[in-house]
Amino acid sequence: MLLAIQIALTVAAWRKGWKGLALLPLGAALACGFVFGAAMGAGGLSEGAVFGIGLLIDLGVIAALGVMAAVGRRTVTSTGQHPISASPEAASPAVFPSTAAPADAAREPTSVGRASHGVPEHLAGTVQ
């Protein structure tokens, strides 16, 4: 029964935008269950203790997937901001003007001499 709940919550989280990350709780639970079960079995603990740890792991997965399915994943808009905080003023290019020149803009030639690169005079003879 718990597996059916986990599968349903995984599908719900996937549809809420988590995509492949919705599989992470199930994978982590599988790995933890295998390691804990092997360690507890090698330690000679009873089946009831192993069952109890498995139940706690399953409830943790259900809680994690429930939160993921309820909240949904927040996406970033093309302006690089969260949709809730995005406003017309924040998205305006006038607020953060670009300092980069366009690719086809005319550029002044740069000097390749020794002084243009900030090389100290005592090292200028070694720099080509």
- What pLDDT digit, counting tens, does each position of 1-26 carry? 999 999 999 999 999 999 999 999 99
Which residue in 36, 49, 24 sits closest to 6, CA to CA?
Answer: 24
Domain boundaries, the chain: 2-71
Tokens of residue 3, six digits: 């597996």
Strands (E), 19-122: none
Q: Does pTM surpass 0.85?
A: no
Give the chain's mean pLDDT: 79
Yes or no: say if 65 and 9 are a contact pair by the CB < 8 Å rule.
yes
Per this entry, what is the length of the chain? 128
Distances (CA, A) of 20 to 13, 25, 73: 9, 10, 12
Q: Rounded to an integer, what distance in angstroms lies between the CA atom of residue 34 and that of residue 96?
A: 52
